[in-house]
Amino acid sequence: MSRNPILRLAACVLAASIHMQSVVRADAERPNIVFIFTDDHSPNAIGAYDRWLKSVDPTPNIDRLASQGMLFERSYCTNSICGPVRAVIETGRHSHKNGFRRNYDGFDWDQPTFPKLLRESGYQTVMYGKYHLGGTPQGYDEWKVLPGQGVYYNPGFITPDGRDRIEGHSTDIITGMAVDWLREGRDPDAPFLLRVQYKAPHRGWMPPLRHLDAFDDVLIPEPPTLFFDHRTQSPASRHQEMEIDRHLCPHHDLVLDLVPDRGDYPGIQRRQDTSNWNTLRRMTPEQLAAWRAHFEPHDEAFHAAKLEGIDLVRWKYQRYLRNYLGCIRGVDENVADLLAALDELGLAENTVVIYSSDQGFFLGDRGWYDKRWMYETSFEMPLIIRWPGVTEPGSRENRLIQNLDYAPTFLEMAGVEIPDDYQGRSLVPLLRGEDDLEWRDALYYHYYEYPGYHMVPPHRGVRTDRFKLMHIHPFGEWEFYDLEADPMELTNQYGNPWYEEQIAALKTRLDELAEQYRDDTDLSERSAEWKEKFRSAAK
């Protein structure tokens, strides 16, 4: 460098200018990330997955997103229940490692999370909507979250400055927050992570008023297993509390008698203390009038029909699905609004958009509702990613992936080093269309929450490309499925000599995965008294 101070200063200024330009260029190449996350949205209720509900056209805008990016055909969770799925996404580690195994556990916000790493690298990080982890969120520049499950109408939000109650439907409100931030709150010179996390379509399935009748004139197709009797499954699958027939409670789940002050359905106690009924009580007079106008005629017709048996199950199924799909229709519209805002602001080309949900959901499959099980319908979760200029539009990926992979994916997209203790794999090579990859050959699953809603016992399992082995370890029971021959998992083949070799190999693989992921959960069987109490309670 020249000894002339003026020339030296000029050189320093030029070097600084070049450095700043390189930083700006690097940031311009680091994509924004919009992560849209719903609750209990089954892939069966997404048209792009081409399943049995496609005929009712539930998600035209999400389908359009899929046509512009990649749809993951075999996307699964590690523990099929709301809070634990979110904790795994936040930390990149299985439930037993991040400490959040059950919904009523407390999440340790002091542990490393991917938003903290993105924020440290220069990303703006923002979260609106349902987070369901308790405590005070860390790693975010701005956040407004629903307390617990939240409510559909006129919800309250927790903010760094206290509580805030907003009139409207929660899905619309959360989108409004996100769009307002995109227009007015963000730093235009920094990349961002924007998390838009809806309560919908979680129970009790309260659609926006404009969609109360969206599916009233549609006969919703029934799943082929609506009246499945479970006789080939282990006793644990027959002793649950998640059947549309016996357990879909008319009032608690807002399926029947949806108007306050009606008489109870015979033999069932109204649950006036639930958040769903509290939602009705917090409606404005105008909202409640519209709600009554829609549901009173339906309820009156139901009581006049005096349905029983199979006819009653079918009626409950139709009411359940119409309200569930009405919630999804609201989500789908709001996805369109978010995408339109990105287009309007000139952000779409450098923004990765992810659509996912915390797990699958039984929509009458096996005669059930809810989730928790390792059966495919509950175990799977939707995943659609649009990455302009990187991911081929309309592509579909068939390799086995889990929510464990989300955090490393977000970090690699942003050019941030992935921590050594992350237990998933980045999906970026798949999104780039790389075919010559050595990918995982099996997935590990472990569900913990018992006792609790729906009486699903703890179980763990392994899924490969073709086979699945489930171990309901408190009872010493096993289930094994050949997913190629029996994709609906109708017949438990555990004990079938034909599959003896495959079952033995999967038992070994299950233990290997538990060791790989350092899962040291106590797998000892419970006492005979405990087993009998479980089975008696569910009869």
Say whether pLDDT at 495 is over 90.
Answer: yes
Say whether pLDDT at 3 is over 50.
Answer: no
Q: Give pLDDT, residue 268.
A: 33
pLDDT of 291-303, one tens digit each? 989 998 988 898 8
**Token couple for 525:** 């069987």
Say whether pLDDT at 266 is over 60.
Answer: no
pLDDT of 104-113, one tens digit each? 888 999 999 9
Please, which pLDDT band fits residue 435 given cuts at 50, 70 and 90? confident
Give how far Cα 55 sits from Cα of 45, 208, 220, 358, Å: 10, 22, 9, 24
Say whether pLDDT at 532 is over 60.
Answer: yes
Q: Residue 361 burial (CB < 10 Å; 0-12/13-18/19+)?
A: buried
Q: Residue 507 burial (CB < 10 Å; 0-12/13-18/19+)?
A: middle
Please, which pLDDT band fits residue 23 given cuts at 50, 70 and 90? very low
Average pLDDT over residues 67-88: 96
Answer for the pair 538, 240: CB distance below 8 angstroms, yes or no. Answer: yes
Please, which pLDDT band fits residue 20 given cuts at 50, 70 and 90? very low
Q: Give pLDDT, residue 24.
A: 31
Q: Give pLDDT, residue 280.
A: 79
Euclidean distance between CA atoms 78 and 461, whole angstroms: 10
**Token couple for 324:** 């569930």
Q: Give pLDDT, residue 8.
A: 39
Alpha carbon dihedral 101, 103, 105, 107, in 10-degree steps, equals 90
Euclidean distance between CA atoms 356 and 66, whole angstroms: 11
User: Mean pLDDT in the chain?
Assistant: 88
**Token couple for 216:** 């009233």
Say whether pLDDT at 194 is over 90.
Answer: yes
Euclidean distance between CA atoms 211 and 169, whole angstroms: 11
Q: Give pLDDT, residue 103.
A: 84
Euclidean distance between CA atoms 60 and 105, whole angstroms: 37
Q: Give pLDDT, residue 252.
A: 56
Q: Give pLDDT, residue 260.
A: 57
Average pLDDT over residues 512-537: 77
- Could you name the CATH architecture of 446-537? 2-Layer Sandwich (3.30)
Q: How many degrees, rounded to 5, is the angle at CA 391 between CA 390 and CA 392?
A: 120
Answer for the pair 464, 442: CB distance below 8 angstroms, yes or no. Answer: yes
Please, which pLDDT band fits residue 513 given cuts at 50, 70 and 90? very high
Answer for the pair 382, 39: CB distance below 8 angstroms, yes or no. Answer: no
Please, which pLDDT band fits residue 9 given cuts at 50, 70 and 90? very low
Average pLDDT over residues 509-532: 84
Give how far Cα 106 sits from Cα of 110, 198, 304, Å: 12, 21, 47
Q: Give pLDDT, residue 251.
A: 55
